[in-house]
Chain A
Amino acid sequence: MSAHVRIKFLLIAALACSWQCSTSAAQTNAIRFAAEVPRAPEEMQVFKLTPSRPPLVFLNEKLRQAKLTPLKAEGKAFMAREASSRNSAIGCVRSWIRKAETRN
């Protein structure tokens, strides 16, 4: 590669680099920190999660207090259906919980 071509190549690379740098700097300037990053403890507790049991007794108590139909087992879930809306596609379920909660 001749010196002339090498200089040309270097110039193009420098131009590309300066454009890239100015764009990146402009983007960084567009982001302002009005809050400090708090210092984190050296180590932290991790918590393991497991599915909570279905709140059947709690919900039935609240449903009764609100004069609503309590939940009954239906297949893989507990459902509360109102007599007037038994055949309606929408609105037949006012409350439900899954019997076997794999995901809470």
Chain B
Amino acid sequence: MTPNFADLVRSGAPHTPLAGERAASIAASALNDERFIPRDATKLRVADGITVMAGTTPRAQKPGVKAIEPRSILTIVPAVRYAAGFRVYGQGSHAVISIANNGVVVGALRRWRTASEAERVPTIITSEQARESIERQLRPMTLAEGTKATVDKIDIAYYDANANYLQPVYRFEATITPANERVSPIKVAGYVPLAKELEPIPDLSRKPEGPAPRIPKQDSRQNGTGTPDDISLGEYANQDWPNDSGYVSMSNSFLRGLTFLNGFFPGITPPVNRTQWYVAYPWEVVGPSSKYFMNAVDVAYTVPHGDWLINTTKSNNADFWDVRNIGTGGNPGYGAAAGGVLATWVIMSCEVIPSMYDRQNESGGLVIRTPRLTRGGRCSRDSTMRLDSARSCFIQTTTCSLASAWTRQ
């Protein structure tokens, strides 16, 4: 059950978001409703609410639509699951309730299987082996000279693959700090199995499955835009993809998100064709060749790493493209006016397009306490890895500023 933002913006509901306690109380009542999440051997806790803002902008094609300034329209309250006292992470065990400002539940999502106690298993890993496994998983991310990783947190937890088991694991979080200070540090999270694996547990250094990105020929004129009825998608994986599976995984997750509903209800959303699946280079984005790459697809998806107005294409320290080079050096820009088709560009990276708040914060004009808005704020690899549907992508975009979406209509 997905909230309709257009309806909520136009509704007569109060303009101020629900107080934290009231939102938590309504969400707790819904999340503890056995008709939504059946009681089982695990426990559920209500997390802090996330306020979402929305507004409207008038379009030339629809005169009469008035602009509405962005304001809070709903609060999303997630559930956090605990098994045997340990927090559950993974693809499963996710549920959220969205509450409008008048207290009405306008959204509910659930990916939550019922758990029952199975056997008790011996833990087979020592602390030293766990450290070695964490180092092995982080090593590919520190190959670039001067890049450092700090393991900030290690917890005992359970992993839910949304399949058959909740399995005990060590879950770790680390901060990867590139040598180049212009590139933001990133947060990554991973797992080390505590017992014999009953089903696969993600490993950061495991090679991704599925087709690998190809090396494009510069100035290639072979890159079509798919059939006229399809939405064409271009995805460009960082050149370091053989060492870091995240680039390919997040691209594949985005594609899966776009094609997800069609898998159940064929024809319900327009077909999406990944017509370009290439290793990333700056000339695909800026320069004259970009018309055969970025501007030859309806939707473009580029991956980390970034900082204000720049984005790397090789690891986290080299082969940058720069937003300020769009429209210069033979690049005419994007979209129909520039002789192409690009309509939406999803920049899955930190801070590439700084917001007004970012700039105001840097100039010292405003004290902003939310970490997502401060310069040097971290983005979480764990969150980006969970972008398995367009819906969650939207939530991440609006709540964590993980992805900067730049759309030209």
A-to-B contact residues, CB < 8 Å: 27-28, 30-53, 55, 57-59, 61-63, 65-66, 77, 89-90, 92-96, 98, 103-104
* Bound Cα distance A76, B7 (Å): 29
A-B pairs with beta carbons under 8 Å apart, 22 shown: A27-B143, A31-B148, A31-B174, A33-B134, A38-B154, A38-B155, A38-B170, A40-B194, A43-B121, A44-B168, A46-B119, A46-B195, A47-B41, A47-B158, A48-B118, A49-B92, A49-B166, A52-B38, A55-B108, A62-B1, A89-B269, A90-B269
Please tell me which stretch of B48-56, B125-133, B288-296 contacts chain A, meaning at least 4 of its Cβ atoms lie within 8 angstroms of it.
B125-133
A interface SS class: mixed
A33, A34, A48, A49 — most chain B CB neighbours (10 Å)? A49
Is the beta-carbon distance between B131 and A33 smaller than 8 angstroms?
yes
A30, A34, A95 — most chain B CB neighbours (10 Å)? A30
Instruction: Give a binary string over B326-357; 1 marks a CB under 8 Å from any A CB, 0 the rest.
Output: 00000000000000000000000000000000
Q: Does B16 contact A (CB under 8 A)?
A: no
Q: Does B65 contact A (CB under 8 A)?
A: no
Give the residue of B139, B168, B195 whose beta carbon is less than 8 angstroms from that of A31.
B139
Chain B residues within an 8 Å CB radius of A44: 84, 120-121, 123, 168, 194-195
Chain B residues within an 8 Å CB radius of A51: 113-114
Is the beta-carbon distance between A41 and B123 smaller than 8 angstroms?
yes
| Tally of contact residues, B, Cβ under 8 A | 75
Chain A residues within an 8 Å CB radius of B104: 65-66
* Bound Cα distance A36, B128 (Å): 10
Given A45-B83, A45-B168, 4 more contacts at CB 8 Å?
Answer: A34-B150, A52-B37, A52-B113, A90-B270
Please tell me which stretch of B205-213, B247-255, B259-267, B298-306 contacts chain A, meaning at least 4 of its Cβ atoms lie within 8 angstroms of it.
B259-267
Is the beta-carbon distance between A30 and B151 smaller than 8 angstroms?
no
* Bound Cα distance A15, B162 (Å): 49
Given A38-B154, A39-B127, A47-B115, CB of A92 within 8 Å of CB of B168: no
Interface residues of B in 260-317 (CB under 8 A from A): 261, 264-265, 267-270
Task: Name the distance in Å between A63's Cβ and chain B's nearest Cβ.
Answer: 7
